[in-house]
Amino acid sequence: MNTSSLNYLLVFLTIMISITSQINPNLALRCLSTEPATTTEFIRTSCKAATYPDLCYMSLSTHANAIQTSPHSLAHTALSVTLTTARTTKGVMSRISKDPGLQEREAGALRDCLEVLGNSVEELQKSLIEMSHVRINSKDFGLRMNNIQTWVSAALTNEDTCTEGFEEEAMDGRLKKSVRRRVEKISHLTSNALALINNVPPIFTSYQ
């Protein structure tokens, strides 16, 4: 392309942008948006059904582009976020359990907690894999969703069991607070994921 043609093209584009801006000055801003209002509003509305709606929205809104307005994608993402958090927490607690300064009852409670957290991780992982195979309108939708609900419910029970092991008054207060705070976050994320799973429709529906 020669210089004359290039200059003509630049002038033409400048004029078109100017005209478009005069017709609708907000058009450019809407086009640049990577998280459309309908997507984030879908997540916010869906999270109202969760046990912890604020945590639900906070943990999922950053994934709005991947979720769009799909209940299936929303539940899948919620499971993925929960699994990642559970794995990270299990790793942290594993390091804490190796502290030579722990009392025997504290070390024992951590070992028990790590065991049930390991079970939770396995159950969440199975749920995530199963969710990847769920197809809306398919004949096995109900069976697969029932499997997922069973595993996620079991993971939630395991997490509750972990925190119960740190109820003794004689234990170090800071350790109890740290463990319970970390495990409760996983528990809350798991509870939210279960609520979103329960709301996945068996047939395709679009968000209005």
Q: What tens digit of pLDDT does each residue of 148-205 get? A: 999 999 999 998 888 777 776 556 677 778 888 899 999 999 999 999 999 998 765 4
Using one digit for the tens of pLDDT, what is the confidence trace for 38-61? 889 999 999 999 999 999 999 999
* 207 contacts 43 by C-beta, under 8 angstroms: no
Residues 6+ apart with CB under 8 A from 41: none
Burial label, 155 (beta-carbon count in 10 A; 0-12, 13-18, 19+):
buried
Which two three-digit tokens encode residue 203? 């047939």
Q: Evaluate if residue 11 carries a pLDDT over 80.
A: no
pLDDT, position 207: 41
Q: Which amino acid is at 10?
A: L
* 45 contacts 153 by C-beta, under 8 angstroms: no
Taking the C-alpha atoms of residue 51 and residue 193, their distance in angstroms, rounded to an integer, is: 9
Q: Left, alpha or beta for 137 (phi > 0: left; psi -120 to 50: alpha)?
A: left
Taking the C-alpha atoms of residue 79 and residue 202, their distance in angstroms, rounded to an integer, is: 18
Name the maximum alpha-carbon separation found in the chain. Answer: 84
In this structure, how many other beta carbons lie within 10 angstroms of the beta carbon of residue 113? Answer: 26
Q: Left, alpha or beta for 171 (phi > 0: left; psi -120 to 50: alpha)?
A: beta
